[in-house]
Amino acid sequence: MAVLVTGGAGYIGSHMVLALVDAGEEVVVLDNLSTGFRWAVHPRAHFYQGDVGDTGLVGNLIRQYGIDSVVHFAGSIIVPESVENPLKYYLNNTAKSRDLIEACVQSSVKHFIFSSTAAVYGMPETSPVTEDMDLKPISPYGTSKLMTEWMLRDTAAAHDLLYVALRYFNVAGADPGGRSGQSTRNATHLIKIACQTALGQREQMGIFGTDYNTPDGTGVRDYIHVTDLIAAHMAALQYLRGGGASLAANCGYGHGFSVREVIDTVEEVSGRPVNAVEEPRRAGDPAALVANSDMLKQHLRWTPRFDDLKQIVRHALAWEEALPEKTR
């Protein structure tokens, strides 16, 4: 049986394809290349350029390759853009996910792994965040992802479909072997931006908010290495194949770093200064957002391997240095 990876030419999706191919799985990638890159897809994967909302195409791929599991990464991910253009997010993240889920049901796909987000929690009052906390997204991005979680919940209750929704905190780093990394132009990930600034690819970067109730006044986030995140997806796949019940689980390390700590680490690892400019707070940014990942560890038996900020930064820097050659 094969695995369908939607958005498999993007940052996280391309890492999932690498892990699946490394494990000897047959992999089918569906990506419209709006933000992904064809060169990022492992050559042993079957690649199709198309839209996840194209139910005819999805159904044909499922039948052609005997797909029994879908890992769904495709979607739009920039929170401020979702506020400015909410209908784009409800189309790309919600409506098209609905069509994808329907195609899976019609073609008897058994397992569905969904790329969700900590944005479903909104502004949690306490940290670390547990899965049983109130779900109160404050952006169309978070709401669009939560609506897809609800669709999966209701579909699983009515049909023979099991799912795992993985709620990412802050994903960073790159494949340790240098095969893939965050390549999207104008990406908003802090560690990527800090690395680009250290390397002179950006003139400066902003620190948005210096008066939070945190040790140094800047926002604290839980940064998870992309390879450990993908290990959670692989664990979810094995869990579902073994008959595990549907669930939603946080993906993080359970501790965070401030913006200033990230910048200091980038400067230390790179040996170069980072020109950081203090800016006002952005609306909707909580002071701290850290995951409680006990459910992931207990139910999926996930064990992180790269829980080290310096290592995350080293891999991110190496990717930024190599990326210009790949995008020529």
Query: Is pLDDT at 283 greater than 90 in this prediction?
Result: no
CB distance 135 to 298 below 8 Å: no
Query: Is pLDDT at 121 greater than 70 in this prediction?
Result: yes
CB distance 154 to 97 below 8 Å: no
Residue ending a domain, among 251, 267, 293, is: 251
Whether 159 is covered by a domain: the verdict is: yes
Query: Is pLDDT at 327 greater than 80 in this prediction?
Result: no
200 and 305, same domain (yes or no):
yes
Res 3: pLDDT: 98
Q: What are phi and psi of 131, to 5 degrees?
A: -65, -20
201 and 95, same domain (yes or no):
no
48 and 139, same domain (yes or no):
yes
Q: What are phi and psi of 257, to 5 degrees?
A: -130, 145
Give the CATH number of the domain where residue 88 resides.
3.40.50.720
> Would you say how long the chain is, in residues?
328
Whether 177 is covered by a domain: the verdict is: no
199 and 231, same domain (yes or no):
no
Work out the pLDDT band at 184, boundaries 50, 70, 90: confident
Rounded to an integer, the average pLDDT of 116-123 is 96
Interior/surface letters 133-153, b for 16+ CB within 10 angstroms, e for the rest: bebebbbbbbbbbbbbbebbe
111 DSSP β-pair partners: 69, 162
82 and 93, same domain (yes or no):
yes
Q: pTM for the full model?
A: 0.96
Res 328: pLDDT: 62
Rounded to an integer, the average pLDDT of 274-283 is 94
Of residues 324 and 248, which shows the higher confidence score? 248
141 and 59, same domain (yes or no):
yes
27 and 9, same domain (yes or no):
yes
Rounded to an integer, the average pLDDT of 291-319 is 97
Query: Is pLDDT at 75 greater than 70 in this prediction?
Result: yes
Arithmetic mean of pLDDT over the chain: 96
206: left (phi over 0), alpha (psi -120 to 50) or beta: beta
50 and 165, same domain (yes or no):
yes
Whether 243 is covered by a domain: the verdict is: yes
Write the DSSP assignment of 262-273 as a string of letters. HHHHHHHHHTS-
Whether 184 is covered by a domain: the verdict is: no
107 and 194, same domain (yes or no):
no
Rounded to an integer, the average pLDDT of 97-117 is 98
170 DSSP β-pair partners: 223
Give the CATH number of the domain where residue 216 resides.
3.90.25.10
15 and 69, same domain (yes or no):
yes
Rounded to an integer, the average pLDDT of 211-226 is 97
Query: Is pLDDT at 118 greater than 90 in this prediction?
Result: yes
Active centre residues (catalytic): 141
Whether 179 is covered by a domain: the verdict is: no
Provide the domain limits for residue 319: 190-221+254-326
Work out the pLDDT band at 126, boundaries 50, 70, 90: confident
Whether 180 is covered by a domain: the verdict is: no
Stretch among 124-128, 179-183, 255-259, 275-279 having the lowest mean pLDDT: 124-128
Whether 227 is covered by a domain: the verdict is: yes
Whether 181 is covered by a domain: the verdict is: no
259 vs 207: CA distance, rounded Å: 7
The total number of structural domains that make up the chain: 2
Rounded to an integer, the average pLDDT of 119-141 is 94
Residue ending a domain, among 211, 236, 251, is: 251
195 and 158, same domain (yes or no):
no
Rounded to an integer, the average pLDDT of 38-54 is 97
Work out the pLDDT band at 285, boundaries 50, 70, 90: confident
Rounded to an integer, the average pLDDT of 51-65 is 98
57 and 158, same domain (yes or no):
yes
Rounded to an integer, the average pLDDT of 174-186 is 93
Rounded to an integer, the average pLDDT of 199-219 is 96
Work out the pLDDT band at 326, boundaries 50, 70, 90: confident
